[in-house]
Amino acid sequence: MKKITITVVVLMCFVLAHADGFEDFKGQNEKEFESSKKEFTSYKQETEKAFETYKNIVNEEFESYKKNIEKYWDTVEVSTNTKWVEYLNNYRIRKIVDFETGEIRIDVLGGTPSDIKPVLKDLLKEDKGNAFRRDPVAFNTEKKLREQVPGVVTEKVSDDPVLEPVFSDNPLNATELDQLADKLINDSSVSTEISDKTGKHVTTAKIKLPADTYQKSAAKVKPFAENYAKEFKLNPALVMSVMYNESRFNPLAKSHVPAYGLMQIVPQSAGVDVMQFLEGKKKVLAPSYLYNAENNVKIGSAYLHILYYRYLKGINNPESRLYCSIAAYNTGAGNVAYAFNKNNGGRYSISRAVPVINSMSPQKVYEYLKFNLRYEEARNYIVNVSAKMKDY
**Digitized pLDDT (tens) for each residue of the chain, 392 residues in all:** 444 444 444 344 433 444 445 454 445 555 554 544 454 454 456 678 888 999 999 999 999 999 999 999 999 999 999 999 999 999 999 999 999 999 999 999 999 999 999 999 999 999 999 999 999 999 999 999 999 998 899 999 999 999 999 999 999 999 999 999 999 999 999 999 998 888 999 999 999 999 999 999 999 999 999 999 999 999 999 999 999 999 999 999 998 789 999 999 999 889 989 999 999 988 999 999 999 999 999 999 999 999 999 999 999 999 999 999 999 999 999 999 999 998 887 789 999 999 999 999 999 999 999 999 999 999 999 999 999 999 99
Could you tell me if 339 and 374 are in contact, meaning their C-beta atoms sit under 8 angstroms apart?
yes
The reported pLDDT for the residue numbered 322 is: 98
The reported pLDDT for the residue numbered 62 is: 96
In this structure, the strands spanning 254-255 and 103-109 are unpaired
The reported pLDDT for the residue numbered 38 is: 52
What is the three-class DSSP state of 280?
Answer: coil
The reported pLDDT for the residue numbered 47 is: 74
Distance CA 347, CA 192 (A): 54
Distance CA 129, CA 304 (A): 28
The reported pLDDT for the residue numbered 377 is: 96
What is the three-class DSSP state of 386?
Answer: helix
Q: What is the pTM of this model?
A: 0.87
CA dihedral over 140, 146, 150, 151, signed as positive or negative: positive
The reported pLDDT for the residue numbered 22 is: 44
**Domains in the chain with CATH codes:** 71-126+161-208 (no CATH), 213-391 (1.10.530.10)
The reported pLDDT for the residue numbered 280 is: 92
The reported pLDDT for the residue numbered 32 is: 52
Strand ranges (E), 99-219 = 103-109, 189-194, 201-208
- Write the pLDDT tens digit of every residue in 275-311: 999 999 889 999 999 999 999 999 999 999 999 999 9
- Write the pLDDT tens digit of every residue in 167-176: 999 999 999 9
